[in-house]
């Protein structure tokens, strides 16, 4: 009696089916799309696990990019580049350079990833890969903390700020004016409660960017923790110039912030103290500025009640 030969089912599948089996086993989030019409054809299991999106929700690559990319400018640039390449009728493979891309999952969580991809015109296929880099980011954050940097915003942390401020006072000649501004974001908690902490983190980074653009490069901007920030205004420093800068900052903060597909709004309360007019030492300057900030918060609350 002849023994029958059993042909493994996997050998009967088409090449793309076998490729899907292989890609589903990969620890990296991978998707592919058709170049001609931009439609996403495949997502591996890791892609769905990491992002929360299924193939049925994907649509086109442009749709997926706008959902995933946390940075709107980065998303728009990627879509423009993709459309430009598709319009060139490429004959040779094109490899996208690796770059760090923070993504927002379907559940609203912000994740650090490293993106890479390749367009394969001969196969009418564009391949995209997102590697979750949490462990690397944690190592970077530890190094930044050691270096005196806030890991979320890239600003100085409290320890580095205190040291720099003490040095500025010690080096101040002829009683030159040095200013201290302390600030709290108003309305950050409702953003966290409604939209998630990833949205709150995005607001904090946005505010840090506004601080950098508002104050001079010679001034020192720090995040003390939570929604607390501070600015050291180095010499030359005048009350008028500080007031003008704060007014400009408050107007910028008042503009709605785009987070994902929606918008959120926050405000800022600030207090100011000047050396040597208001106090002669660091701790007293902190106390005066902090009291002024909380007085500003109370005035806002009272104004809202009336």
Is residue 61 over pLDDT 90? Answer: yes
Q: Give percent of the chain with pLDDT exceeding 90.
A: 53
* pLDDT tens by residue, 15-31: 678 888 888 889 899 99
pLDDT score at 118: 94
pLDDT of 95 strictly over 80: yes
> What average pLDDT does the segment 280-304 reach?
89
Q: For the chain, what are the domain ranges?
A: 9-132, 144-305
Report the pLDDT value the prediction gives residue 2, as an integer from 0 to 100.
41
Read out DSSP for 119-176? EEGGGTEEEEEEEE-HHHHHHHHHHHHHTTB-TTT-SB-HHHHHHHHHHHHHH--TT-
Residue with the larger pLDDT of the pair 10 and 23? 23
Portion of the chain with pLDDT greater than 70, in percent: 90
Average pLDDT over residues 56-67: 93
- At residue 141 the predicted structure's pLDDT band, cuts being 50, 70 and 90, is low
Mean pLDDT along residues 129-140: 78
pLDDT higher than threshold 60 for residue 50: yes
pLDDT at residue 13 in the model: 53
Residue 208 has pLDDT above 50, yes or no: yes
The total number of residues shown for the chain amounts to 306
Per CATH, the number for 9-132 is 3.30.450.20
Mean pLDDT in residue range 262-272: 93
Banded pLDDT at 148 (limits 50, 70, 90): confident
**In 3D, which of 69, 67, 25 has the Cα closest to residue 46?**
25
DSSP state of 226: T
Q: How confident is the model at residue 3 (pLDDT cuts 50, 70, 90)?
A: very low
Average pLDDT over every residue of 99-124:
91
CATH match for 144-305 among 3.30.70.270, 3.30.420.40, 3.40.50.880, 2.40.30.10:
3.30.70.270
For the record, the structure tokens of 206 come out as: 């946005």
What is the residue-averaged pLDDT of the chain? 87
Residue 193: per-residue pLDDT: 87
Tell me what pLDDT residue 176 has. Answer: 82
Q: Nearest Cα to 191, choosing from 248, 242, 267? A: 267
Active site residues: 227
């Amino acid at each position: 009696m002849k023994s029958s030969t059993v042909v493994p089912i996997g050998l009967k599948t088409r090449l793309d089916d076998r490729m899907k089996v292989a890609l589903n086993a990969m620890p990296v989030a991978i998707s592919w799309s058709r170049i001609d019409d931009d439609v996403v054809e495949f997502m591996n299991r890791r892609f769905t696990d990491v992002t929360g999106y299924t193939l049925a929700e994907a649509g086109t690559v442009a749709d997926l990019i706008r959902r995933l990319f946390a940075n709107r400018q980065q998303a728009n640039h990627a879509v423009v580049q993709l459309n430009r390449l598709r319009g060139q009728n490429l004959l040779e493979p094109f490899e996208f350079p690796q770059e760090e891309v923070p993504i927002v999952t379907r559940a609203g969580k912000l994740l650090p990833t490293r993106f890479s991809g390749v367009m394969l015109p001969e196969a009418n296929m564009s391949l995209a890969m997102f590697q979750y880099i949490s462990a690397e980011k944690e190592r970077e954050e530890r190094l930044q903390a050691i270096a005196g940097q806030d890991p979320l915003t890239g600003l100085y942390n409290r320890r580095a700020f205190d040291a720099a401020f003490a040095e500025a006072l010690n080096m101040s000649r002829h009683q030159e004016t040095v200013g201290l501004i302390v600030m709290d974001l108003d309305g950050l908690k409702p953003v966290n409660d409604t939209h998630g902490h990833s949205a709150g983190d995005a607001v904090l980074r946005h505010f840090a960017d506004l601080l950098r653009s508002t104050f001079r490069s010679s001034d020192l901007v720090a995040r003390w923790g939570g929604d607390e920030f501070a600015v050291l205004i180095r010499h030359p420093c005048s009350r008028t110039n500080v007031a003008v800068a704060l007014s400009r900052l408050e107007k910028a903060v008042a503009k709605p912030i785009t987070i994902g597909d929606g918008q959120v709004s926050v405000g800022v309360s600030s207090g100011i103290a000047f050396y040597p007019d208001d106090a002669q030492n660091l701790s007293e300057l902190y106390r005066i500025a902090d009291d002024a900030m909380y007085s500003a918060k109370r005035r806002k609350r009272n104004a809202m009640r009336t």
